Structure 1
Amino acid sequence: MSSLRASLVIALLAGVLAVSVLLAIGLGAAAVPPQETVRLLWAAVTGGSIRADEVTAYQIIWQVRTPRVLLAVLVGAGLSVVGVAIQAMVRNALADPFVLGVSSGASAGAVLVAATGALTAFGVYAVSAGAFLGALLVSALVYLASRGAGGLSPLRLVLTGVAMAFGFQAVMSLIVYFVPDGESTSTVLFWSMGGFGAATWGALPVVAVAVTGTVVALRRSARRLDVLALGDETSVTLGVDTAGFRRGLFVLTSLATGAMVAVSGAIGFVGLVMPHLVRLWTGAAHLRVLTVAPFAGAIFMVWADLVARTLVAPRELPLGVITALVGVPVFVVLLRRRGYLFGGR
């Protein structure tokens, strides 16, 4: 992809994202026309005045939908770039941000807090704090179990992560079994399938910092990611410290995934499918992939969330259902079209 074409693609995706955000904020059970949405958003940002009969619409737009849509943008962008990094780190095209068991650990931590009432010092963020701590716990266990004399083994990382995922899913089942109340069951469903229904303005800064920092760090490491994808022997020959670099990637992606899962639950297929779709447009160079992937992931997540909350309104579908319904057929098509990515034709 030439520099001019790349710039045009980025400009196009940025425009599509801006329009998608505006439409998603205005659409819902109580639809607000785009021009009214823009006016109410402008009033909120600048401290302007609104009419008395617009208070309800203003609260829906600014207090409910805007933080939700912005959170969808951040999580979609974050899962996409983390998926790119993890696929390069473990040299496995089937890897995604949750292959290391982080999502299961976060879900188990959230369910445990919801069932026991722990971490009350965090107030309304107690469940999210429990999810983040659960994610960190799993990350530490996977790291310790995967570390060998030569550093982190890609195969051992994947196998350990899968084992941890099953183990913490069993922990969730035990919690629900011994505390069989509706709240625990609904909490398990949310953290297993994901969603942005609990989005607040207070949740945005931490996720924004985590996602932005991850994107910047990965873009700076794009060249080393290109080399790492060629294999450890080639990487060492080209002067890349594979053990240290893979360790840094593991810590970075685990923290970013934990921060996102703590506010959105486990949303599958985004980090698995989006990197492959982006590579179809940009080629395999990680700098270009990491430039386009955040926009593509954000756009997809905004529309997936809009469908989840409007398809069967006033009820809301788990977001993971929508991403799976879209991700599975897309993944199968990619599998058939690009067989070389999955071990040869």
Structure 2
Amino acid sequence: MKTSALPWMLVLPVLLTLAVLAGVTWGSAQLGMGQVWAIVQHQMAQALGMQTAAPDWSMQQHQIVWMIRLPRVLMAALVGAGLSIVGVVMQAMVRNPLADPYMLGVSSGASVGAVSVLAWGVFAAVGLYAVAAGAFIGALLATVLVYLLARQGGRIPSARLILSGVAVGYMLTGLTSLVTLTAGQRDLANALLTWLLGSLAGTQWQALGLPAGMVLAGMLWLLAQARPLNALLAGDEAAATLGVAAERLRRQLFVVVSLLTGTMVAVSGAIGFVGLVIPHVTRMLVGSDHRRVLPVAALMGAVFLVLVDGAARTWFAPMEIPVGVITAFVGGPFFIAMLWRGAVREEG
């Protein structure tokens, strides 16, 4: 049932804070939520040059909270928000509720680019951002290819778009597997396989800057385009009557989507269903106005992936399950349930 976005904008930040604290608390080393909060406060006070009381925790506990778990949990929140934003935008710009980065081959393209960097050292000249650069270029090329294949008579029919995305996605997935198998290093191949299933393990503080900047910049730009996005939902002809240049806006959105998707895939690997399910849930709750949908979807996606990452770390401990496996188990049945109830209908 659709409601005002205000209650969700008030509740979701609180839920996200609690989810982050819970995510840092969960793990093989048992830590209390109060202790986690005290370590975070202590570290932040030190960073600001403030005097703090002597800590009553061990150095190992400090390392676990501040250096291992907290950056990973924050990355999960950023990736969840980013993928949800991408899903919202893609479903609006192609007017199809099945559109998401994976269905349209964008994530597969990003995976090819990122895996090529990891396996062959492509774009090594840009250093720390090599994987992100490879993922963005792969995502953009895949997006352009799908766009060209789907375009027919100056229009992009939804069915043709989905078929083009699926075909390109399968092709690029095969190419990714080929790169992985021919990497020549067994350890690298195993690492690539884990990454392709989605993993946030090993996240460090310095890795948070790029996705945080991309999500923030993308959100601000997309919020400024909220009214044109609303017009796209009504169709190109209706958008034109409202003064929206649909094709130009769509091209701009393709670039933004490629940037966001490439960045998310570069830092987390392939995590599916977030960009497909979260936008549906958001629209069911707050309607279709993108001024409401974008921020609520971002917060909801962040909460969702933080909780999923915690489950991936703890359900089968000491073994860690790839995050993408958990999202598939959660998202697949949920999406089937929405289909069964008739909640998913093609727009336009």
Task: Note whether the superposition's TM-score is higher than 0.5.
Answer: yes
- Conserved 8 A contact 1:152-1:243: no
The offset of 1:157, in angstroms, is 4.6
Map of 1:263 onto structure 2: 267
The offset of 1:86, in angstroms, is 0.3
Map of 1:34 onto structure 2: 33
For the pair 1:239 / 2:238, whether they are aligned, the reply is: no
- Conserved 8 A contact 1:86-1:253: yes
3-state SS, counterpart of residue 341 of structure 1: coil
Map of 2:49 onto structure 1: none
Change (3 A) 1:2 1:323: closer
Map of 1:289 onto structure 2: 293
For the pair 1:92 / 2:96, whether they are aligned, the reply is: yes
Runs of 5+ consecutive residues of structure 1 not aligned to the other structure: none
What are the within-5 Å matches in structure 2 for residues 267-282 of structure 1? Answer: 267-282=271-286
TM-score (norm 2): 0.89
Q: Distance in 1 between matches of 2:210 and 2:288?
A: 30
- Conserved 8 A contact 1:150-1:243: no
Map of 1:61 onto structure 2: 65
Change (3 A) 1:293 1:33: same
3-state SS, counterpart of residue 212 of structure 1: helix
- Conserved 8 A contact 2:132-2:262: no
Change (3 A) 1:114 1:9: closer
Q: Distance in 1 between matches of 2:316 and 2:128?
A: 28
Q: Distance in 2 between matches of 1:165 and 1:254?
A: 14
**What is the letter of the counterpart of residue 225 of structure 1?**
L
**What is the letter of the counterpart of residue 190 of structure 1?**
T
Moved more, 85-94 or 114-123: 114-123
Q: Distance in 1 between matches of 2:332 and 2:253?
A: 27
Deviations 1:273-326 (A, max 9, x none): 011111111122222211311111111000000000111112110101110111
The offset of 1:337, in angstroms, is 2.1
What are the within-5 Å matches in structure 2 for residues 12-161 of structure 1? Answer: 12-47=11-46, 48=52, 51=55, 54-121=58-125, 126-143=130-147, 150=154, 157-161=161-165
Map of 1:7 onto structure 2: 6
Map of 2:197 onto structure 1: 193
3-state SS, counterpart of residue 58 of structure 2: helix
The alignment yields a C-alpha RMSD, in angstroms, of 2.6
- Conserved 8 A contact 1:172-1:188: no
The offset of 1:125, in angstroms, is 5.6
Deviations 1:224-250 (A, max 9, x none): 222111111222222211111111111
The offset of 1:135, in angstroms, is 2.6
Deviations 1:62-87 (A, max 9, x none): 11111111111111111111111100
For this pair of structures, how many residues does the alignment match?
A: 343
**What is the letter of the counterpart of residue 74 of structure 2?**
L
Deviations 1:111-138 (A, max 9, x none): 3233334444455665454334433443
TM-score (norm 1): 0.90
Runs of 5+ consecutive residues of structure 2 not aligned to the other structure: 47-51
The offset of 1:183, in angstroms, is 2.7
Q: Distance in 2 between matches of 1:149 and 1:46?
A: 61
Q: Distance in 2 between matches of 1:291 and 1:175?
A: 37
3-state SS, counterpart of residue 61 of structure 2: helix
- Conserved 8 A contact 2:140-2:255: no
Moved more, 305-314 or 333-342: 333-342
Q: Distance in 1 between matches of 2:77 and 2:28?
A: 21
For the pair 1:306 / 2:310, whether they are aligned, the reply is: yes
Q: Distance in 2 between matches of 1:23 and 1:43?
A: 18
Moved more, 61-70 or 237-246: 237-246
% same residue: 45
Change (3 A) 1:322 1:147: same
3-state SS, counterpart of residue 345 of structure 2: helix
